[in-house]
Amino acid sequence: MAANGALQSVSLKVVVLEERNQVAFVEAGKEFVDVLVSFMTMPIGMIVRLSRDHLKDEMGCLKNLYNSIEKLDKAKLVRSAECKDMLLCPRSAAEFHYRKLKLDLIDRSANEYYVCQSCDLVSFYQTAHCRCENSFKYRVELKGNKSSVPRDEGVFVNPNMPFMIDDEFLVKHSSTKNLVELKIKDDTWRTENIGKDKVLKLMVRSLVSQTPFSDIFMNNLPDSNTSSTICPGKYKPRRAGQSQNVTDSATRISLNLVIDNPRERVLYAEAGEDFVDLLCSFLTIPLCYFFKEFPHLPFKGSMGKLYKNIQDLDDNSFKSKEMKETLVNPKLAPGLAQHNQLIGLEEASNLSFKTLCSNFEIKRTELGSSSNQEEVETGRGFVKPTKFMVENNLSVTHFSLESARKLMNEMEDIKEDKVIVDRDKALHLLAASLVSESALTDVFILKKPKQEKKPKPKPKQVNRKDVDDDECCCCF
C-alpha cells in the first residue's frame, strides 16, 4: 500500500470462456467499480495526459489538440502557466473524491487550492480574484484524510454491494438471476490483480472496443479503423439550441476555411484566439458530457454503454443520490468556465474552507503581496491574441504562409469560405472532435449524399410460344 492509503492493485474475479478466448464477466467490489465509474468525471485533458502512452487514434482529434497546446506553450502563445495547467492538467469537479479511490490514477499530492480572504470559499485556481471580487489570502495543500473519516466507506457506489460487469461494461448486481441470464458454459474462474497501468489500458480500449475486458485480459487487440464521420443531418444533441448557465448566447465566432474543392475537404482554418479558446475548452470538459449531450453519437466503444448503465442503475447501487448525480450530470471544476465559451456547461459550486478542514488534514500558507494573483483573469481565454492555423484534425499552430503553402501543396482548385461558429456548430464540433479524425470537414462541409445505383431492370419474361423460330428471345 502506498503512503497515501492507495493500493498498488485491486483484485478481480475474471470469468473466462476458454473456447471463445473471451471474458464473460468480472466480479468486483467497490474498489474497482469506483475506479471504473470515475472515468466519467475526468476531463478530456486529464484522460489524454494519463493515457497518452497507450493512445493511438482512440480519441479522434483530441490528442492532436492536446499536443498542440504543449507546442503553443513552448512558443509562448498560451497566456500563462496557470492557463497551461488548466488545459494540460485540468482539474475535475470530482477530484476530492479521487483521494478516496483505492487506485491512485492521478497524483493526489499535486493539487493546491486557494482560499478567499472575504467569503472563505475555495478555488481550484489562483485567478485574479474570487467570485466575490476579493483577492485570495491562503494557498492550501491537502495532506491526507481526517482520521475521523471512515476509510472503507467507498466513494461512488454502494460499498456493501458486489457487482458483476460484462465484457461490454454493463454493470449489474451480483445475483443468481443475473448469472443465469448469461447462460455461460465451460467457464474458467481466475483471479486477476489490476494496477494503474492496466486500468489506463482498459480505459483506452473502452473508447473504441465493445469488448475491453477480453482485449486486455485475453490480449484480443484487433486492428480496427476507429474514425467515424459525423453527418450534419444525423447530428442530434440532446438539447439543441438550449442555453445553459455559462453560455453567452450572443457569442459568434468568425472563421475562414481553406477548402480542397474537388475532394470536399477542409485543409485548414485561419482563426483568431476566440476559436482556439473554444477548442481549448474541449480539454476541460468531463467525458460523461459527451454521452449525456450526444446520445446519437456514432461512438464505437463501450464507454457510452457504461454511462447509460449508470443512469439506469437504481439509487441503492450508489453511496448516495448525490454520488449518482456527480456521475451522470457533469460540471466543470470551479474556475474553468470561460466567458466566451459556447458549449454552456455549468461550473460546480465552490467548497467552503470550513468543509475542506472538516474532511482533510491541510497545510495552509499565506499568500504574500509578491504572489502573482493577476496571472489568470477570468474570461480572457487561454491563448494570446494572434492569428492561428487550425488543421482538419484540430492541430493548432501559429499561422504562417510557409505552413499554408505546404498544406496546399500543388492543389489547384482551392477555395475560401467564411463561416460563423454559433452554439450549434460548437456542439457539433465538440462531438466530432471525439469520434472523427477530420473534425472541420465533418462540421463545415455539407457533402451531397451518394446516390445509390438503381438496379438494372430484369429482362422481360418471354413466352417461348410467342417467339418465331427465326427470332432470338432477347430481341424485341
Tens-level pLDDT at each residue, the chain (476 residues):
444 556 788 999 999 998 889 999 999 999 999 999 999 999 999 999 998 888 777 788 999 999 999 999 999 999 988 899 899 999 999 988 988 898 888 765 567 888 888 888 888 887 767 778 788 888 888 877 765 555 567 899 999 999 999 999 999 999 999 999 888 888 899 999 999 999 999 999 998 899 999 999 998 776 545 455 444 444 455 554 443 444 454 578 999 999 999 999 999 999 999 999 999 999 999 999 999 998 888 778 899 999 999 999 999 999 999 999 999 998 998 878 765 567 888 888 888 888 888 888 888 888 875 555 445 555 578 999 999 999 999 999 999 999 999 998 878 899 999 999 999 999 999 999 998 899 999 999 976 555 555 555 555 554 544 444 444 433 33
**Contact of 39 with 185, CB cutoff 8 Å:** no
Sign of CA dihedral 391, 396, 399, 404: negative
Q: For residue 141, give the H/E element and its range.
A: strand 136-145
Q: Which of 188, 216, 221, 189 is nearest to 201 (CA)?
A: 216
- DSSP of 232-262, one letter per residue? GGG---TTTT---TT--TT--EEEEEEEETT
Q: For residue 355, give the H/E element and its range.
A: helix 353-359
Q: At what angle do helices 303-312 and 321-328 cross, to 10 degrees?
A: 150
**Contact of 60 with 258, CB cutoff 8 Å:** no
Say how far apart CA 74 and CA 78 lie, in whole Å: 8
In degrees and rounded to multiples of 5, residue 229 shows phi and psi of -115, 130
Burial of 271 (0-12, 13-18, 19+ CB in 10 A): buried
Q: What is the pTM of this model?
A: 0.85
Say how far apart CA 28 and CA 174 lie, in whole Å: 9
Say how far apart CA 386 and CA 176 lie, in whole Å: 62
**Contact of 49 with 42, CB cutoff 8 Å:** no
173: Cβ–Cβ under 8 A, 6 or more apart, which residues? 161, 162, 163, 164, 317
